[in-house]
Each structure stands twice: as C-alpha cells, then as structure tokens.
Amino acid sequence: MTEQEIQRQLFDIYSGILFNSGEFAPGEPAAIAYHFDCPEYAALKEKYGIDKIAGEGSAYERAERLMHWMAPKLWHRPDYDNHVPMKSLDLLEYSLGRPEHGINCRNKSVILTECCLALGIYARRVYIMPCSPYDMDNHVVTEIFDQEMGKWIMLDPSTDGVFTDEKGVPLSLLELRERFAAHRPAAFTGSENGDEMNTYFAKNLFRFMVDGENGYGLSDSRTLYFTPMGHLVQKNLLASMEYKLSMIPPDAMRLRKLYSEMLEKAKGDPEPGCTDIGVMEARP
C-alpha cells in the first residue's frame, strides 16, 4: 500500500468520525475577550518590527505575513517542556532563529496570536483535539477575524499554512470541520504534504478548546470547551492519563509516581462545562 493510499484510508476514518459527531453539545453563552491595550505590544513592535513585517492590507494579509516571517525561524520540538514563560517576547527571545531551542505548536500559536493582537487584529489561540483518549497528539493553531471577508480564518504557524476552498478562500476551523465531515478535502498552502495535512487536521478537529482571554500573557487563563454531543471530556482525560501511565516502564519509578499522583488528583475534577458552538462562529 502506498503512502497516498494510507493517507486516503485514514482520511476516510477520521472524516467518518466527524460525520457522526456533527452536532455539538448545547452549552452556555460566553464572551471571548480580545485585549488590544497591553503595554508589551509596544516592545514587540520596537524589538521585532512586526508592524513593518505585517505591512498594509486586510487582517488576513497582515496576519499571513507575520506567520510567514516567524514560521521558518521557529523549529519544532514536540517534547519541549514549556519552561519559558508563555509570552511572545520571552518565547521569541528564546527560540527565534535558534534551531537548538525548538518549541511546540502551543507556544508558536501564542507568538502569532499576540503579534496579531499587537497590531489590532482579532486573534485567538485554539486547541484542536482528537476523539480517541489513546491518541497522545493534538495540535494548537491561531484563528484571526478578517473584517473584509467577515469571517474567521485559521492560520497554522507550525506548518506555515492555511486551508482554502476551491475558490482560494481561506477557511475557519469550523468550516474545515464541516468540509471534512462531508468527506471533502481542502487545499493546503503550507510546505507540508497536502494529503497528510488533511488527514492530520481531520483527526484533530473532533473538539475544540479556545482561549477565553486573548491578550499578552493571558493564554490558558480562561478556557472555553466546545464538545460534540455525547463526548465526556473528563472521562476521556482520565482514560488518556491511565493509558500514559501504562506506557511508562516499571523501572521508571519516579515518573510513574508523578503520573499516578496526577491521575489521582484529576479524578476529583468535574466535567468542564460546554460553551455554545455559536460563540466560535460569532463576529467579535
């Protein structure tokens, strides 16, 4: 079986999961906040010239230029331990142009989101999550709102790309999810293989976690959950933690003890409340 055939089969499976999980659980209304007055934005402009890099044009055009500037200069390290403060100035100082200091998708999206906000562009960080509790991989991206198109657009600073429809219109995460659920691949503009990216995103578009507060250094301060009907986030989290624990070698006593303590503590956590999916679609 060729790699293309493997990717096609996987896309069939993941798009089918999305098809059968098309309805999101009813949830509470909530406001997603965007902070444009953080004092650190001036330092971002002065030190890195992001206003000049973004240039003129629509929000999407400016945000895309920022992504193209940063993405090739940030190296990927999936096991990065998040030891640098989750703030764009600290992360850029640590990682920009330094291949020995790779960071993960979570922190790349922090940089792009905060740089966009510094230029007055509505931007938010979004976790895209798989269905299986035994899948240890998820992804984090940025969505920006373009006033001219009147829609949200997903930008992936890890792969330096966006998904577009047949007319070349960039897609939001929800638009991409609906498209994949209908078994329709999308064009990908980044450097990665398009078939693989369709499969990878289809796997991870099962549910969403969105930053409720978007501003300098505010990542993870308030998280909104958008969850398909019948899916229990807490139940899946515990199953995932138990799976991770089972994969730790018996002789790694310290690590097993740490994960066991984390698991016991997590057992007391409640199921997170759902937010109405309309909040993700709404204009800011």
Residues 58-70 as b/e (b if ≥16 CB within 10 A, e otherwise) read ebbebbbbbbebb
Buried b (16+ CB within 10 A) or exposed e, 38-47: beebeebbee
166 exposed, middle or buried (CB, 10 Å; 0-12, 13-18, 19+)? Answer: exposed
Region 203-207: mean pLDDT is 98
Nearest to 125 by CA among 1, 217, 192: 217
The pLDDT tens digits for 87-134 are 999 999 999 999 999 999 999 999 999 999 999 999 999 999 999 999
* Residue found under tokens 């997170």: 272
Collect contacts of 20-25 with beta carbons under 8 A, ≥24 apart. Answer: 21/131, 21/206, 21/228, 21/229, 21/230, 21/231, 22/178, 22/181, 22/228, 23/228, 23/229, 24/226, 24/227, 24/228, 24/229, 24/274, 24/277, 25/227, 25/228, 25/229, 25/230, 25/231, 25/274
Residues 50-79 have a mean pLDDT of 97
Question: What mean pLDDT is reported for the chain?
Answer: 96
- Place 191 in a pLDDT band, splitting at 50, 70 and 90: confident
pLDDT in tens, 236-269: 999 999 999 999 999 999 999 998 999 999 999 9
Q: State residue 3's pLDDT score.
A: 87
Q: How do the domains of the chain map onto residue ranges?
A: 3-230+273-281
- H or E, element range at 151: strand 151-155
CA-CA distance, 218 to 225, in Å (whole number)?
17
